């Protein structure tokens, strides 16, 4: 009976995500490669296309990348998206996403997103975070469809 309880306790601990799920180095590069772009608001990303999920699949070009951030340009070269790594925690990776709105206004959009590895395909899913960072004040309008958070 006791060994069964120990086994269940160990299994529940090992199933949780932890910091070992994310790389210690080249974190911004990892985010660029593994982010499911479809989890970003459509106000700043290209139109959703069947079978495409990552920046690479959508044809974005990485202009610069370092440990703390990356600058990506959309395939047509009209706008850029900047991603800055703010914090890595047990909850996931907090990033600041900054880009130009695709709507006719073309205003700047900036928000904090919490990225998590959610399933076996290994892609990071993002949701707007309620956690604030001085380095990433909210800029631009908010649509209810992506104002969801993980409750952080």
Task: Please report, for the chain, the start and end positions of each structural domain, with discontinuous segments joined by +.
Answer: 23-146
**How many other C-beta atoms can be found within 10 angstroms of the C-beta atom of residue 20?**
7
Cα–chain-centroid distance for residue 84?
10
- How much is the pLDDT for 77? 77
The tokens for 50 are 């069947």
Residue-level pLDDT at 146: 41
Whether residue 18 is predicted with pLDDT greater than 70 in this model: the reply is no
Residues 6+ positions from 82 with CB-CB distance below 8 Å: 69, 70, 71, 72, 96, 97, 98, 99
Q: What is the pLDDT of residue 25?
A: 87
pLDDT of 141 reads 60
152: pLDDT strictly greater than 70 = no
Residue pLDDT, tens place only, 51-104: 999 999 999 999 999 989 999 998 887 789 999 999 999 889 999 999 887 765
Contacts (Cβ under 8 Å, ≥6 apart) of 88: 19, 22, 27, 94
**Mean pLDDT calculated for residue range 34-50:** 86
């Amino acid at each position: 009976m006791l060994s069964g309880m120990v086994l269940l306790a160990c299994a529940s601990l090992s199933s949780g995500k932890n910091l070992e799920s994310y790389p210690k180095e080249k974190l911004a590069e990892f985010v660029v490669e593994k982010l499911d772009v479809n989890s970003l608001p459509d106000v700043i990303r290209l139109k959703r296309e069947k079978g495409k999920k990552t920046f690479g699949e959508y044809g974005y070009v990485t202009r610069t990348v370092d440990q703390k951030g990356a600058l990506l340009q959309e395939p047509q070269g009209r706008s850029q998206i900047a991603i800055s790594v703010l914090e890595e925690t047990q909850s996931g990776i907090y990033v600041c996403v900054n880009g130009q709105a695709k709507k006719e206004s073309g205003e700047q959009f900036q928000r904090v997103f919490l990225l998590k590895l959610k399933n076996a395909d290994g892609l990071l899913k993002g949701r707007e975070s309620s956690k604030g960072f001085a380095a990433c004040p909210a800029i631009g309008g908010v649509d209810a469809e992506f104002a969801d958070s993980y409750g952080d």
